[in-house]
Homo-oligomer: A and B are copies of this chain.
Amino acid sequence: MSESLRARLFAEIDRWRLIDPHTHINPHAPAAKSLADLLGYHYYTELVHSAGVSRERIEDPQIGPEEKVERLVAGIAPLENTIQYSWLIEMAQRFFGFAEERVTPTNIGQLYRAAAAKMSQPDWSQQVLEQTGLDAVFLTNDFDDPLEGFDTSVYVPCLRTDDLVFHFAKRDVRARLDARAQRPVADLATLRQAIGGLFEHFRARGARAAAISLPPDFAPAPIAPAAAEAALTRVLKQGLEAALDDRRTLSQYIFWTLAEYCAEFKLPFDLMIGVNRAVYPGGVYQGQDLFDSRVSLIQYRELFNAFPQVTFPISVLASVTNQELVAYSWIFPNVVTNGHWWYSNTPNYIEFDAAARLEAVPQTKQVAYYSDMYKLEFALPKFGMYKRILAKILAERFVIDRGWSEERALGLARQVLRGNVERIFGYGE
């Protein structure tokens, strides 16, 4: 019973139009220009590299897109078991009429050309959105993004704040902020004004969230203004030479300030918790980060208590943190679960983590999934993966184990996949 039930639930879920609440889409070039934009995704470059191909060969600046694809495909066989590989095949089959189950040096040329033909059509990104059933995708915008030249009802701005919190000591980050504010940050007051200006700009352009990724050892705390001012003064003067303590104090202060502005501007603050950057500096672009699973949401206790009016959609990098996320979302009104992030975005972790959420977190407090994609084509296989797992969980744990009707199970699915995205982020308001 379970397999046909799953298929039936999936078929229905797969018909719905969705909103993708976290991506890295460039709204000026949302879809791929060639297969190299798909195979160049870090999931493939890092796995191909991990399986034996040198970074130099993959990132050779001399080569064009077709040769890049050829080089990657020459080293891709070791990845055939991975779920990431299945995304590639599903895109090839669904978008480009690919009829095989493996890409090989023999068939890649034909696939490359088939993709190129599709991608060269002027409305290709529209076609992808249509075929995928996406009404909108949320972006991840640099704080100084002008947010112009695209339809913000389809490409929804979100303010990414990592640079402000963790890289303010870098000259170019300060320069970008100064430019945006049209006057230099010279003290706490001008720093706060500059940040406030970003929020005003983003709100004016329809932004729906602020977002940040955080290392495992980060623990937000308020900083007294005098201490913040002192740290800021030294960081402004010394930049990256400033003492680590000063830089940390300032990170804390800026982070807390962002939360204050989220409260003022009524923006959810997406926290993506747990990444260690550049653990493998010899890795390919975007294939260098890892994590330490020894992190706890207790580190966010003070934040969650201090900002009851701010909604915090939380992503955790380590699946072992998911039970804490379930519990914190079950207790704190302002904490909601958000997707399955990166190293936890593989089927057995999704299945385990999503089941826990569906069983214990109020259905209104779960954002089921986001693609995290850089190119629109990836939403189809990534959401497809999630929807199949969701159908499995609903079939096994709700319809069979708990005697739910299929209709009721589908209602839950719709709520976490679509309804909550609209309500929590205020999409369409």
Contacts and interface: CB of A to CB of B under 8 A. Distances in A.
Contacts of A127: none
Contact of A3 (B346, B359, B400): B400
A343 B327 contact: yes
A83 interface: yes
A84 to B, nearest CB: 7
B296 A323 contact: no
A304 B360 CA distance: 34
A365 B78 contact: yes
A290 B299 CA distance: 12
Nearest to A287: B331
Q: Which of A50, A291, A296, A412 has the most CB of B within 10 A?
A: A50
B290 A363 contact: no
Contacts of A152: none
Given A331-B280, A360-B84, A362-B78, A323 B344 contact: yes
Contact of A290 (B282, B328, B348, B358): B328
Interface residues of A, number: 78
Contact of A301 (B78, B279, B327, B329): B279
A331 B282 contact: no
A402 B80 CA distance: 12
Interface stretch (A59-67, A109-117, A234-242, A314-322): A314-322
Given A356-B348, A401-B388, A50 B343 contact: no
Interface string A274-292: 0010011111000111111
A401 B293 contact: no
B397 A330 contact: no
Given A352-B348, A361-B82, A280 B305 contact: yes
Given A3-B400, A82-B360, A52 B333 contact: yes
Contacts of A50: 329-333, 362, 365
Given A333-B50, A360-B84, A3 B3 contact: no
Q: Which of A3, A344, A363 has the most CB of B within 10 A?
A: A363
Given A1-B3, A50-B329, 7 more contacts: A49-B333, A78-B365, A81-B362, A279-B331, A290-B331, A291-B324, A346-B356
Interface of A: 1, 3, 46-47, 49-52, 78-84, 86, 101, 276, 279-283, 287-294, 296-298, 301, 304-305, 308, 318-321, 323-324, 326-333, 343-344, 346-349, 352, 355-356, 358-365, 388, 392, 397-398, 400-402, 408, 412
